[in-house]
Every structure is written in structure tokens, then in C-alpha cells.
Structure 1
Amino acid sequence: MAFAHTPTLQAIGHFLPSAPARLARQAGMASVCIALLGAVGGAHAEVDALQSLASMSLGSLLDVEVSGASKFNQSLRSAPSSATVITAAEIYALGYRSLADVLRSIRGLQVNSDRTYSYLGVRGMIAPGDYNTRVLLLIDGNRINDAVFDQAFLGTEFPLDLALVERVEFIPGPGSAVHGANALFGVVNVVTRRNLGDRTAMGSVSLGSGGGRSAMAALQTGEMGGPRLMLSASRMLSRGRDLYFPQYDVAGVSNGISAGTDGEAQNRLFMRFEDGKGLSATLIHADRDKNSSATAGTVFNDSATRMRDMQTHASLQWSGQVLPETELTARAYTSRYVFEGNYVLDYPPPTINRDTVEAQSVGLELRALTSRWAGHKVVVGTELQATPHRDQGNFDVEPYTSYLDDRRHGHRMSFFAEDQMEITPQWTLSAGGRYDRTEVGKGVFSPRFGAVWQPSPQWVGKYLYGSAYRQANAFERYYAYPGVGGYKANPGLETEHVRGHELAFEYHPSPSLKWTASLFRNQVDGLIGQRLDPQDGMLQFENQGRLSVQGFEIEAEAALPHQSHLRVNYSQQQARGGILSEQSASRIANATLVVPLTASWVVGASATAVAQRASAPGYATADLTLSNDAPWRPWRVAFSVYNLLDRRVSDPSSDAARPGIVPQDRRGVRVRLDLRF
């Protein structure tokens, strides 16, 4: 794991020069792009129940629900956050293949990939050696980050098939006041489907470039309001691409081409039971095997270098009314993550070195939500978590030589409370906090404050403040491997703290147009980063002082004529601090467009432009999907083309031991067929 973790587009590309342009010019160009949207977005779109994605009226824009902001459902308009919600209809129409694809389209987010895992940057916060430890990933409110790396799995390693996703919520900013550790820069909450509509079963198959193929089947029994069971299983295979890595192009040693070593296979299982009276049980299991022949420190282009990730998440939850206007929720959960990484090392002779990880957590959460007092919505609760296994190992397979056998355990105790107070019909205040105490360090209190001002149905203003924390994980503290290119442990790492301020505005000038703008500033103290010690050539995590990021975001979303739906966003941020400014993109722009061609045929297009990050140049790409989804038919089909103009795209390497670039896919295609019974 240590090694592994270790014509339109041309116009967009004009704001991606290698040298930074002036802020006024960039903001001006963003305003021009979004002004074009506003010019065509004033027309009122006809509402059609079968075209819900395209018929985004003012009411539906305001009433989209988000549940990850405060541990209960509330509208985007009233939530103390500037959240973004991507629905299942949008995921399908735009041909998204992974959670990373979904997140890439959200304002302020940057996604890098080393072709084994996907890494998320939030508002300029991304660092080499970081495995998404500062973003909390939830599925239906249940924590998915593991207990050794604290990693959020976002790419093909995500343990859930996207066909089972109802919506994806992203809540930016410090979120520890609600969710505890890891919610430094944002929270991703994936909400699963509660039913398959009026169908009892569905199946899906797809074929794509790079030998990609997948199959999924889902079955449900029971009726809404009564006992129900949903089961799903899926399998994905891919042989991958042949790739060129310039940092491995060494005369007489390698031509830098990795051939036949990018494949992967994954199995997924999902089960949920609901008794119709408030009791539910969920099980998620995923097992992925991935080649990674361009891993720093290993023999290049050797298919024996591979990683296996196995995840299991289970929860049992009951919710019900115990007092007038008071709901109690009790949740028990367990998670297990097992990793095995085989790395071909040239000592000589070539030897397989193996990393092993076992992380296991069990926990119990109790919370109460009440609105008994006029103008108040209060949530209070407690959470207890034990981690009996935070185990890491490293050894040579043959001859057997052990370098690391580290076994840890831990616990966490938390108390949280929040009150959303309606001061006047125009003003709502939200105040809350959470206290966490673990087996290491002192207890941490994380406060949050929000003020929501709604002077008219067209305007919403929000001021948001929050703080969050993250204690060093077991990998950062205790992983050690001897020799040049190895790791040094650092048990004395201190806790990271972040404080964030945000001023956000929403403007709805017509029933078919919504504008969003945000100004933000985040300051991190004690950020943990990976550094290569020039004295011994070994990597070590260390606290790197105070860092800050500030910037702005602007987005427009519109229902266009003929029931088309358009979203355009632009974000700019400036990071102050070496490990952030090297990896983060200072400018990012996205656009998505969904256009119904007939009653059932829809075309979806998306474009992304990202400025230079470290040694990886800026890029602009576009994807196109043509789909047929008529609810009255038992089938639907989608044809997708990715990287439509066949651009060369590279991401910066996430490993400080071997900086460079990681090539991404050129043009690719996918055909997907769904059957519904």
C-alpha cells in the first residue's frame, strides 16, 4: 500500500496558460461564459414528469434535499452549507462511470489519479502522499474511510455500483462538528436507491475500451411501506491501457512504456432490508484486484506488481418517534478493510515484497431530532467506536524477511449537538459542535456556526464558519520500511486543525435559472505531509506548519428551451504553502449539458478544464453520451465517448519518492444496456 498510494475546448483552453494570468482576466472570462448561460436560461421550460432532470423549476431547485450537512434531511436552500447534489438521472445521462467522475463535475473539486486510486482535491487542498484522508466518505450516512489509511475510495475502488445510487451530495468546508474526524475539507455522502421503481429486477451489461466489461443484477421483493429486501451483485473486468511514463524512459533501461499491466477486476455485493416500521439493515462488500506496474520503487512494467482491496461495511439502524415531534435513531455498524500489495523489487535478484493491512471498526450511534420548541430544530447524540485492528505488515515473500509487524487498536467517544433556530422568517441561525476523544492526544471540540438570510424567494445569503480536525493515522505514524525509497515512522505527529470561513449567495431570477457564488478561506495548522529526507533517501510524514487557501466559485444552472438542462461552474483558488501549491490547480471550469432529442433519446455532454498542477500541464477534455431511457420500456441503452477530442491528459504523481506525471486515458468508448423486469 505504501508504494501504491505512494473549436469549444480551444476556447476553454485559453485560460490555462502555463504562467498565471491576472485574477481580473480569469474572473472576467468566467463571467462571460456564465453570462451566455443566463441569456438563454430565462425561458421557462415545460414541466414533464418523465424529464425530471431537464424540468428544473425554481421550486425543484430550492427543494432538492441534502442529508449529509446536519444528519437530517433539509432543503439545499435552508441547509447551513453550500452543498451540491448530483442526481441519478444526471449520472446516467452524462455517462459517469465512477464516483470520481461525478465529483469531477462539482465546483471547486479536482480529481487526480495514479491509475490505481483516485485522489480528491477540495478548493486547492491536495497534497502528495494524501489518500483522501481529509475528505469524509459516507454511504447513507455511514463512514466508509478505513481505520489505517483513513482513505476515501472514490474511483473504480468505490465499493458500490453507481446504478444503485439515488444521489451524490458534496458538502464543502470543515464538517467535524457534525461527523467528526476526516471531515476537514468536505463530506461526500452517497445516498442509495430505496427501490427499483415499479420493477422487481434489473440487469446491466457494458463493454468499453481497454477491454472494459461489466455486469450487474439487482432484485427487490416486497412493497413500499412494508418489509422489503434489495439484493445486488456486480462484476467488472478490464485489461487497461498501454501507457507512456516519461519519468521511466531511461536509455538502456526502459523506454517508459507500460504494456499489459493496467488491468483490474472487481466484485461487488449490496443488500438492504427494511421492515417498513423504521428498522433497516445494510451490507456492502467489494473485492478489487488491480495491476500497478508504474509504482515508485518497483520494477517498471512488471505485471506481478498488484494490489488487492477488500471492504465490508454493515449497519443496523432503527428510527422512530418516541415523543411528540421527536425522533430517535439508533445505529450499530461495523467495517472491515483488508489490503494486500505485491511489489516486484530489484534488490537484486528481483523479489516480491508484500504489504498487508487489516483495519476493523465497530460502533454505536444514538441521536435524537426534535422540533418540540417553536422555531427550533435540535439534534443531539453520541457515538462510541472501537477499532480492534489497525494492523500493518511488510515482508519479502521468498526468502521470507519481515520488516514490519505493527498491531494497533483504538477507540473514539463523541458527543454532538446542533440547533437550527428560525429567528425571523428571513433569518435562520445554526450553531453546534462536537467533542471527540480518542486513545491518542487530548479531546477535540469542533464548533460550527451558520447564518442563512432569505430576504425574498429569489435571494439566499449564507455565512458559514466551522473548524475540523484530523489525527495522524496508523500508516502515517507507524509505517516503516528500511533502505533508500523506504519509510520512517513518526509516532509524534500532532493533530491537524482547520478553520474555514465562507460567504455564499444564491440568486433565482426566474423559475428556470439559478446562480450560486461563494467566497472562501481555509487555514490549516499542522498539516501532515510527506517529505523525502535527502540525507537517507527515505520518506517520512511530518507536520508542516500553517497553510491557507482562499478563492471563489461561481455556478449557473438553467432549464433551457426544449427541456434541456445546463450547469456551468468556475472556481479559482490560491494556496499558500509548498505541498499545496505544487499539486493543486489554481483554476478549474466545468460544464454539463443534457438535451432531450425525442421523448426517450437524450444527449449528455460534459467538459472539464483544469490548470497546471506541479509538472502536469493543464488540459481541457469533453465527454459525450447518447442514451435512450423510456420508463415504459423494459430496456434502456447508452453510448458514451470519453475524451472526445483525444487530448493528452496527465496528472501529477502522488508519490514524493518519484515525482513526475501519470498519463490518463486517451479517447475511449462504452456501450451500456440495462434491462428492467
Structure 2
Amino acid sequence: MALLALCCSASTQAAALWADAGELAQLSLDDLLRVEVQSATRYAQPLADSPASVTVIDEDELRDHSYRNLAEALSTVRGVYLSNDRNYSYLGVRGFNRPGDYNSRILLLTDGARRNDALYDQAQLGNEAPVEIDWVKRLEFVAGPSSAVYGANALFGSVNAVMLDGGDIQGARLTADTGSGASQRLGLMAGQRVDSEHDWFFALSAYDARGNDLYFPEFATINQGWARGLDGENYQKAYGKYRFGNWRLSANLSSREKHLPNAPYQTAFNEPGTHTVDQHALLELSYDGPKSNDRQQQFRVFTGSYRYRGDYMLAGALDNRDTGHADWVGGDYRLIITTLPAHKLMLGLETQWNTVLEQRNFDLAPASTYLDSNHPSHTYGIFVQDEWRLSSQWLLNLGLRHDKHSDYAGITSPRAALIYQASEKATLKAMVGNAYRAPNAYERFYDDGGVLQKANLALRPERIRSVELAGDFRVGPGGRVGISLYRNDMRDMIDQVLDPLDGLQVFVNQSSTQTRGIELDAERRWPSGQRVRASLSRQWSSAADGSELGNSPQWLGKLVFAQPVAAGWTMAGEWMGLSARRALVGRVAGYGVLNLTLTSAPMAGLGEFTLGVYNVTDSLYHDPASSAFTQNALVQDGRQFRLSWTLRL
């Protein structure tokens, strides 16, 4: 409660936006609450009408806080927390973030298009994400299940990155960064709204970093526990889209290489060469038709690809390579009917053919193959969503989807939400829904020949049932307070365990798990530009035997603020704290981290400057490790700096 009191009493201010004719007007709280979001229902609707708890991070905040990737921005959302193993970023939602889970229970969308790969089901959100956060106009996070409209993966939350259009740029922007870990980044964005029918946007980005020198006491007998020059990372990303009338063509390519300093999977510590490569590609053609006779058609066709390569330096100079390759094509069709007053009906069909789902594991020298598998699959889903405006105060949203995976029986996912708008200042929501996720190819078929992991062809889909009550209340001019109570019951949860019979890791279905909690959040904006939001979450988690889930903090606290300072500069920051978490052995201590960012207004001919200081107090903190590591917990970054310069061309 102290955090909420601090939120209500803080006197903070927000930054000015681009000071030219093409800039976007700063949103007041009233404007923000009227922002139309698409991720909850697959069509635009006001936040208050969404059949879920939705958090929107607008462009003002994305720029003022200089978030470095999607994961960092999402970590400021109520009930959400972040873990990192120095390779990937993992998003925990409402007490659920199993170490080693590749965000397979989070759905990632860009402009409404699915971005989870077909092999591991992973939503990549850190530097490994296929898109840069600089290219994002708005982030929408939907808490809770959304399988009723999206199918698999939308169990604990859905992320939709609304990408910039050419009209948001009207020219070009060049960005150059330098920072801790000898990091350097160069980015270019260009775009233009040609006329009402044509708009184009294009972006490139390249990043390279040496990384940090890191100390691991578990390896104190090797180089005194230090891994030096082994934390490097580089990536290259490209994105473009072209709108012509009601059509939109989008394309995205990315490649990220990360060197691993912490010796996962029994690799040799302080041995150069252990690294991973993740590559994404997506090509999409979509159509968003006009309303005709109270009907609107929407459809898209797409093709995607994902490639993974991991080189692992084992003891005795043995070089092991792990590869994954997925190709897929698909499409979806939606018909929105509004012939009846106060009624909106959406009918949809979606299908995807996973033409390649290949996994290989082999030693390079001496040559030896342990795994060479390819198990293509296909899915289809049909769904319906029915929204009724029962009166000026009552709104009912019903959704139902049936999905069929080629290897499993069909699964039906319902969702229902009853929304009561008591007044312009109070909205109450009661929501219940089911979601599912079928085992992915990695969980079912990966077997490295009896070294660390074996396959389990008998895995069953996991399912979740969620119940939530939420309230949103306006407080004075420009203020709001929200509360949410939820319960998630999961059965047949897929978890990786150690088989005592042979000592190998294997994915199995657990009987049941549960998370429940309460979330409080508050926000206020002032006409002069002041902005602050805060949240406090209390969550409980338990497995079938009553034990607490791993990497599941009981308390989460957030404070996010921005305030103009002298001469057009803006100070922004976020403080995030969480309580202790259970690790594989014992518990990992809780922590609090403060980030601060100072941003200038655009200066004629000189551009805009941003200085970011992350983990200002240089706190030493850890995240629980998965069974892939010798360490029980992995150290996170200390104080980091980044200086960024942006010039409009």
C-alpha cells in the first residue's frame, strides 16, 4: 500500500514530444483510456470495452524511458517480471515463469501477426526479438488467456507490438548508440504517408557488443571464476511495410548471435566458442476491407521461417552443434457483422502448415550424430466472438474457438466477459476463459543420444482455466486506480524434470498447478506533462503437492515516472522490485532496481540526445537458473550506461 500512496502523492512530469508539425500530440489520461486496442479481440475497441485486463505502453513512454527491447518495457507492466540467463529474456506473468521455458505460454504479435516460431513456440522479447523497440508505436499487453480468438500459446498473456507507419516518420531518422560492454548500435528509419491510400515504412538496425566480464564463484578453480570477453552479442534486423488502399505488405528479417559466458549444458567454462544464433523471417500480405452492408472482411496470408544454431564447447575440445529449422505457411480469414444494433459478431478461420520442423544434434569433430528428426505438422482453428451491448452500462462478450492439431484431438477454448460501466468514472469486469498449448516439437522429440535429455512422445496438451474480477476507477482530473483479482488453474502442465531412473532430463505432464493473486495499480497525468504510474502485486503459486512454484515471487512493485526538467530536457525512470523466489536449491533473494533516463528535446540541426543509466545503485542480484546450468542462480547486470543520439533527416 505504501507504493500506491507514493503513486498518488508523487509530483512528476512527462517529456515534450517531437517539436515540429509532424509530431504526435501527447496523450492525456482521458485520451489514453479512449485508445482503441486490437489485441484482446482482433478488432479495434476502447480499453474499457476489452474483455480482458489490458495495459498500453504508448509512444511517449517508449521514447522517454529509452527501453532497450520489448522485454524491458513489458517488465514495467503490473504482475509481470523478467528473468535472463544471458542468452534469452523470459517473461513471468502472475507468478508463472518456469526457468528454461522459452516464453512458449506468451503469444507475441506484431501488428496482430503471430511471431511465435513453429519449432519451440517461443516468443523472443529481448535483444533476440525479431523487431526493435524503436520501430514500435505502442505496446499492448493482454493479461490472461486469449485462446478463444488466437488459439495456442495465449495462456498467460499476449503481447501486440503496434509498429510505426510511414506517416509517423514523414522523413528519416538516424540513431547511433554507445554504451557499457563496448556496445554500439546504428539504426535507420524512413517512411512517408504519400496520400490517403499509400504509406510506406522501412527500418534497419545493427548492434555489436563485447559484453561484460563476469565472475562465477561456482567455477572458482578455473581462471579464478572469471569469464572475460565471452559475453559478446551482435544482431542485424530489417523491417518494412507498404500499405496500398486496404492492403498491407509486411516483411521482417533478423539474425542475432550471442556468446554464452556461463557454461550451460555442461560446456567448458572460460572456453571461447560457445554461442547461439537465432534467425527469423516473415512475409505477410493482409487485407482490412471497408464496411459494406454492415459487414467487414479481413484476411491475411503469410510465410515464416526460423533457424537456430548452437555451438557448445565441451570438455576435451569436443565441439557439439545443435540446430533447429522451421518453415511454415498459413492464413486466416475474419468476417465482422454489425447488422443488428448494439451487436458485433466475428466469425473466423485460421490455418497453418508447419512444413519443416527439423532438429539435429551432432559433434563436429570427431563427427557423430545423436539426433536427426523432422516432424511436420499442421493446425486449423475456427472461432466465433459475439459482443452484445445489452444497455448503455452493460456489455457482454462471448468467444469460442475450436482448434485441431494434426497430432492431437481437437480442443475447444471458451471465453466470456461481462462488463459493467457504472459511470464514466467506473468500469467493472468479470472474466472467465480457457486456453491451451500443444506440446511443441522440441518438448516431444528432442533426444541428444542419452547425454542430457530424452524425448517423450506421450506428452499431452496443457490447459488453463482463468477467472478474473477487475475494476477501473477514475480519481480526480487525470487520475485512475485499478484493481484485479485472479485465479489460474492449470492441468497437464508441461515441465522438464530429471528422470531418477536414468538421470536424463525429460518433459512430462504435471497433474495440476495454480496461481492466484491481487493487483493494484494507479496512474496520473497532468496537463503540464507530469506522468506517473505504479502497481503492487501479491501472488501465490502452488504445485499439486502444495509446494511453491519455482521463480515465482510473492510480491511485485513498480513505479514508472517522467518529468520535464530545465531547457526542454526530460527525466524518466522506473523502479522495480520483487521478493525472494524459489530456485532449484533454496531461494534467491529479492531485489529492487532503479533505471533513470535523461532525454533532450530535439535541437535544431543537432538532433536529440538520451542518456540512460540502468541499475543506478549497482545492485547485485540474481535470477534462478534452470537445470541447464551448474549455477543455482545467475548474476544479472550491474550499473550500465547508454548514450543515444537521434537525428531527423
Does residue 637 of structure 1 match 2:609?
Answer: yes
Does residue 526 of structure 1 match 2:492?
Answer: yes
Partner of 1:506: 472
The farther-off stretch of 226-235 and 103-112 is 226-235
Does residue 553 of structure 1 match 2:519?
Answer: yes
Partner of 1:20: none
Does residue 624 of structure 1 match 2:592?
Answer: no
Partner of 1:81: 52
Letter in structure 2 aligned against 1:652: P
Query: 3-state SS of the aligned residue for 1:178?
Result: helix
d(CA) in 2 for partners of 1:498, 1:541: 18
Does residue 271 of structure 1 match 2:240?
Answer: yes
2:26–2:60 contact (8 Å) kept in structure 1: no
Partner of 1:453: 420
Letter in structure 1 aligned against 2:440: N
1:493–1:543 contact (8 Å) kept in structure 2: yes
Letter in structure 2 aligned against 1:184: L
Assess, with a 3 A threshold, how the Cα gap between structure 1 residues 375 and 211 changes in structure 2: closer, same or farther: same
Partner of 2:124: 153
Assess, with a 3 A threshold, how the Cα gap between structure 1 residues 675 and 58 changes in structure 2: closer, same or farther: closer
d(CA) in 1 for partners of 2:564, 2:66: 15
Query: 3-state SS of the aligned residue for 1:267?
Result: strand
Letter in structure 2 aligned against 1:661: A
Partner of 2:183: 212
Partner of 1:226: 197
| 1:201 shift after superposition | 1.0
The farther-off stretch of 47-56 and 446-455 is 47-56
1:346-361 equivalence runs, <5 A: 346=315, 349-361=316-328
Query: 252, 255, 258: which one pairs with 1:287?
Result: 255
Give a deviation string over 1:28-81, Cα, whole Å, max 9, x none.
xxx23212432457x999999969999654521321221100001111111111
Query: 3-state SS of the aligned residue for 2:168?
Result: coil
Query: 265, 271, 289: which one pairs with 1:296?
Result: 265
2:16–2:601 contact (8 Å) kept in structure 1: no
Partner of 1:441: 408
d(CA) in 1 for partners of 2:610, 2:14: 25
| 1:88 shift after superposition | 1.8
Give a deviation string over 1:235-265, Cα, whole Å, max 9, x none.
000110011223333x4x4532211100011
The farther-off stretch of 571-580 and 145-154 is 571-580
1:56–1:559 contact (8 Å) kept in structure 2: no
d(CA) in 1 for partners of 2:507, 2:203: 40
Query: 558, 562, 581: which one pairs with 2:549?
Result: 581
Query: 356, 360, 365: which one pairs with 1:389?
Result: 356
Partner of 2:156: 185
Query: 3-state SS of the aligned residue for 1:38?
Result: helix
Which runs of at least 4 in structure 1 moved beyond 6 Å after TM superposition? Answer: 43-55, 631-634
Partner of 2:440: 473
Partner of 1:13: none
1:560–1:566 contact (8 Å) kept in structure 2: no
d(CA) in 1 for partners of 2:471, 2:382: 31
| 1:170 shift after superposition | 0.5
Does residue 34 of structure 1 match 2:34?
Answer: no
Query: 3-state SS of the aligned residue for 1:665?
Result: coil
d(CA) in 1 for partners of 2:351, 2:407: 15
Give a deviation string over 1:473-528, Cα, whole Å, max 9, x none.
000000001345x1010010011000000000001022210111100000000000
Does residue 247 of structure 1 match 2:218?
Answer: yes
Does residue 329 of structure 1 match 2:295?
Answer: no
| 1:655 shift after superposition | 2.9
Letter in structure 2 aligned against 1:433: L
| 1:533 shift after superposition | 2.1
d(CA) in 1 for partners of 2:334, 2:38: 14
Letter in structure 2 aligned against 1:185: F
1:54–1:594 contact (8 Å) kept in structure 2: no
Assess, with a 3 A threshold, how the Cα gap between structure 1 residues 67 and 258 changes in structure 2: closer, same or farther: same
Assess, with a 3 A threshold, how the Cα gap between structure 1 residues 166 and 94 changes in structure 2: closer, same or farther: same
Partner of 1:494: 460
Query: 560, 565, 577: which one pairs with 1:592?
Result: 560
d(CA) in 2 for partners of 1:656, 1:214: 31
| Percent pairwise identity | 34
Partner of 1:374: 341
Query: 617, 642, 647: which one pairs with 1:670?
Result: 642
| 1:199 shift after superposition | 3.0
**Which is bigger in relative contact order (C-alpha 8 A, separation at least 6)?**
1
2:555–2:579 contact (8 Å) kept in structure 1: yes
Assess, with a 3 A threshold, how the Cα gap between structure 1 residues 461 and 213 changes in structure 2: closer, same or farther: same
2:166–2:190 contact (8 Å) kept in structure 1: no
For normalisation by structure 1, the TM-score amounts to 0.91
d(CA) in 2 for partners of 1:519, 1:656: 35
Letter in structure 1 aligned against 2:575: A
d(CA) in 1 for partners of 2:303, 2:232: 30
1:45–1:512 contact (8 Å) kept in structure 2: no
Query: 3-state SS of the aligned residue for 2:459?
Result: coil
1:650–1:661 contact (8 Å) kept in structure 2: yes
Assess, with a 3 A threshold, how the Cα gap between structure 1 residues 580 and 495 changes in structure 2: closer, same or farther: farther
1:68–1:141 contact (8 Å) kept in structure 2: yes
d(CA) in 1 for partners of 2:344, 2:78: 29
1:72-221 equivalence runs, <5 A: 72-195=43-166, 197=168, 199-221=170-192
Query: 3-state SS of the aligned residue for 2:588?
Result: coil
d(CA) in 2 for partners of 1:510, 1:634: 40
Partner of 1:601: 569
d(CA) in 2 for partners of 1:379, 1:627: 44
| 1:304 shift after superposition | 0.5
1:44–1:511 contact (8 Å) kept in structure 2: no
Does residue 404 of structure 1 match 2:374?
Answer: no
d(CA) in 1 for partners of 2:236, 2:467: 41
| 1:232 shift after superposition | 1.3
The farther-off stretch of 603-612 and 518-527 is 603-612
1:165–1:191 contact (8 Å) kept in structure 2: yes
Give a deviation string over 1:524-567, Cα, whole Å, max 9, x none.
00000011123322100000111101101010001247421001
1:566–1:593 contact (8 Å) kept in structure 2: yes
Letter in structure 2 aligned against 1:337: Y
Letter in structure 1 aligned against 2:592: A
Query: 3-state SS of the aligned residue for 2:197?
Result: coil
Q: What are structure 1's unaligned runs of at least 5 residues?
A: 1-30
